[in-house]
Amino acid sequence: MCGTTLICISTLLDAGKELDPEKSRFFNKDVQLSYLDGVWDLYLGAGAAHLYLRSLRQHDSNGPNITGTNLDGIFVRDETGDFAELYEKDGEVEYPTNTLPTDSQLVIRVSSMQDLIKLAEVPDPKSNPAEIHPRTEASYQRIVAALLSVIDGTAPINSYVNDRQLIEKLAEHYAGYSGLSKRNLEKRLPECRKSID
């Protein structure tokens, strides 16, 4: 960010304390306003930055305008950890602004995009069999329970010739149970057979 926007250098009032970032407070180190130049990160832990970014997203997607405001203004942070609060000046009145200056540019850091990609990656269950989605695990547990009920005779499934018949009878008897649909059984039981071949 660079240009002609007035700023006031700030610092965390609660520095060194473990607090919810949304509740962090700031105080101004400099009484006088100055100008901001160079590369600064938009600080999302306090102030109006979230609201500002949502407004931009709504505008780009032709969504409804966001009319809410935040009196705390926008904070930015540089590489040394210093904060700055962006101000506007209307005549003699100075007040925190809720928008970035027109001569600034929003840039997403490559490292931030890489962090986002890592968050979105789904681990391959084959690479680490211990990691299995809870819904998939629950489905397997119900299948095992259903098969045990056939073995101990508590399910009224007396005879079957092949897996296809067993699947049909299980799906019919356990209709409505999550994970025991005919489709899911047709997918899971062959997987189980292959696992011990």
Q: What pLDDT digit, counting tens, does each position of 129-157 carry?
A: 566 777 888 888 888 888 888 888 888 88
Residues 6+ away with beta carbon under 8 Å from 133: 125
Task: Please tell me the predicted confidence (pLDDT) of residue 4.
Answer: 58
Q: How far apart are CA 85 and CA 138, in angstroms?
A: 50
The residues spanned by each domain of the chain are 6-109, 134-195
Question: Shortest CA distance to 24 belongs to which of 8, 44, 40?
Answer: 44
Task: Please tell me the predicted confidence (pLDDT) of residue 2.
Answer: 43
Measured from the Cβ of residue 58, the count of other Cβ atoms closer than 10 Å reads 13
Contacts by 148-154, CB closer than 8 A, 24 or more apart: none
Q: How far apart are CA 56 and CA 60, in angstroms?
A: 6
Instruction: Flag whether pLDDT at 127 surpasses 70.
Output: no
Confidence of residue 1 (pLDDT cuts 50, 70, 90): very low
pLDDT tens, position by position, 98-109: 777 777 888 888
pLDDT tens, position by position, 25-77: 776 776 677 777 778 888 877 777 777 777 777 766 776 666 666 667 788 88
pLDDT tens, position by position, 156-181: 887 888 888 888 888 888 888 888 88
Task: Please tell me the predicted confidence (pLDDT) of residue 121.
Answer: 74
Q: Which residues pair with 26 in a beta bridge?
A: 12
State in Å, rounded, how far the first CA of the chain is from the last one.
Answer: 61
Task: Please tell me the predicted confidence (pLDDT) of residue 68.
Answer: 64
